[in-house]
């Protein structure tokens, strides 16, 4: 699309409950069109385990080309436990896209929405509002598909490069600065295991070099084990954290569990030019087709997409639209909405209807 406020969105609904949560997100964005000057063109394309079963590939070349041409990519959950590559790993287009488009910054916000239960005592009063930034192309995941397995042992290689680390840390400091400008602490912690591994000492050293260029951001260093323990005791003490790929994979699931679970958690994988937005949850084939899926994480991922588009293209109305979606979600949960995973009766249709009404 040529107009500054018109965006072409690649839609990869995926497998399992992926299409079920994608539909509400698109409804919300269409509603936004009626309330703002923004316009969207959605192009759907196949990706995931079902496409692998049909064609032998996780994604056709046409899907990759679409993603390359689109302004942003919305991705539902992909993969099914029963569908595997010959090496017994799952079909994971979400990971493949990170490598194809060099999406090095995995952004995993964890904000406790009013009315949503947290397992942490006092969280309802103190609040949780933090961001995990996970390097998404290197670390232990750089070895994906390249590991060596013999009868006697198996080996995977962790990779950390200066180029990617420098870009990751610059991204992280800019995000901390943006949060500070919005009234949040704007602090940044480097999470690693630098006391044991040379690779993480290298990672930390680059972080400190980058910190010198951002003197207004308060920084800290945490070992990943200590960080995990602190998160489940005092999550309100955290703001922004940046870490290696595997550590981020684990820690972001911890932080999602603090705010009601993966169904509430949005995410983005962002590079210098491209970005993918998807909920943190999986395909949940056990509830597929039953109307039980919680679309909140997918809806909030769409809100993250709008904020990114606003920053990338200078379209302030897109950022405002993203905030409008977040406020609508807050309103319905504060009003007593209770999804089935919290023991309530609200399914996919009920949650979607409530958010649309709040908009």
Nearest to 106 by CA among 298, 303, 307, 241: 241
Tokens, residue 235: 């999550």
- Distance CA(313)–CA(160), nearest Å, equals 31
Give the whole-number percent of the chain exceeding pLDDT 70.
99
Residue with the bigger pLDDT between 268 and 343: it is: 268
Any idea what DSSP says for residue 34? H
Provide the CB-side half-sphere exposure for 39 (13 A, CA): 7
Q: What is the DSSP letter of 289?
A: T
pLDDT at 304: 98
Asked if residue 2 has pLDDT above 60, the reply is no
pLDDT at 138: 96
Q: Is pLDDT at 221 greater than 50 in this prediction?
A: yes
Q: What is the DSSP letter of 279?
A: E
- pLDDT of 4: 77
Whether 301 shows a pLDDT value over 70: the answer reads yes
In 3D space, the residue among 76, 18, 24 whose CA is nearest the CA of residue 350 turns out to be 24
CA pair distance 355, 330, nearest whole angstrom: 9
Asked if residue 62 has pLDDT above 60, the reply is yes
Q: How far apart are CA 333 and CA 347, in angstroms?
A: 13
Judge whether 132 and 251 are in contact, CB under 8 Å: yes
CA separation for the pair 269, 279 (Å, rounded)? 11
Of 95, 11, 16, 93, give the one whose Cα is nearest residue 52.
93
Cβ count near 114 (within 10 Å): 11
pLDDT(3) > 80: no
Q: Is 37 a residue whose pLDDT tops 90?
A: yes
Closest CA to 93 of 72, 74, 109, 110: 74
Contact 96, 79 (CB under 8 A): no
State the average pLDDT for the chain.
95
Contact 355, 264 (CB under 8 A): no
Of 12, 9, 164, give the one whose Cα is nearest residue 94. 12
């Amino acid at each position: 699309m040529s107009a500054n406020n018109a965006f072409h969105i690649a839609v990869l609904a995926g497998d399992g409950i992926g299409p079920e949560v994608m539909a509400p997100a698109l409804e919300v964005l269409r509603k936004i069109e009626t309330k703002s000057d923004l316009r969207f063109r959605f192009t759907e394309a196949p990706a995931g385990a079902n496409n692998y079963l049909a064609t032998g590939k996780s994604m056709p070349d046409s899907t990759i080309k679409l993603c390359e041409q689109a302004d942003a990519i919305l991705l539902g959950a992909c993969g099914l436990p029963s569908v595997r590559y010959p090496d017994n790993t799952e079909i994971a287009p979400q990971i493949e896209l990170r490598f194809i488009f060099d999406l090095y910054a995995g952004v995993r916000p964890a904000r406790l929405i009013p009315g949503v239960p947290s397992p942490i005592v006092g969280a309802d009063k103190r609040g949780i509002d933090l961001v995990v930034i996970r390097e998404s192309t290197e670390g232990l995941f750089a070895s994906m598909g390249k590991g060596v397995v013999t009868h006697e042992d198996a080996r995977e290689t962790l990779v950390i490069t200066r180029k990617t680390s420098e870009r990751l840390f610059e991204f992280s400091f800019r995000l901390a600065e943006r949060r500070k400008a919005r009234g949040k602490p704007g602090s940044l912690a480097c999470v690693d295991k630098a006391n044991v591994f040379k690779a993480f000492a290298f990672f930390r050293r680059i972080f400190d070099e980058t910190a010198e260029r951002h003197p207004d951001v308060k920084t800290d260093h945490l070992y990943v084990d200590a960080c995990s323990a602190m998160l489940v005791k005092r999550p309100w003490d955290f703001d922004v954290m940046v870490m290696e790929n595997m550590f981020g994979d684990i820690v972001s699931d911890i932080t999602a569990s603090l705010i009601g679970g993966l169904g509430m958690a949005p995410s983005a994988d962002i590079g210098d030019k491209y970005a993918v937005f998807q909920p943190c949850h999986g395909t949940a084939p056990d509830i597929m087709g039953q109307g039980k899926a919680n679309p909140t994480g997918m809806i909030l991922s769409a809100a993250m997409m709008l904020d990114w588009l606003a920053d990338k293209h200078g379209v302030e109305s897109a950022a405002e639209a993203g905030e409008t979606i977040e406020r609508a979600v807050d309103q319905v949960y504060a009003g007593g909405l209770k999804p089935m995973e919290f023991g309530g009766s609200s399914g996919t249709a009920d949650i979607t209807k409530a958010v649309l009404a709040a908009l």
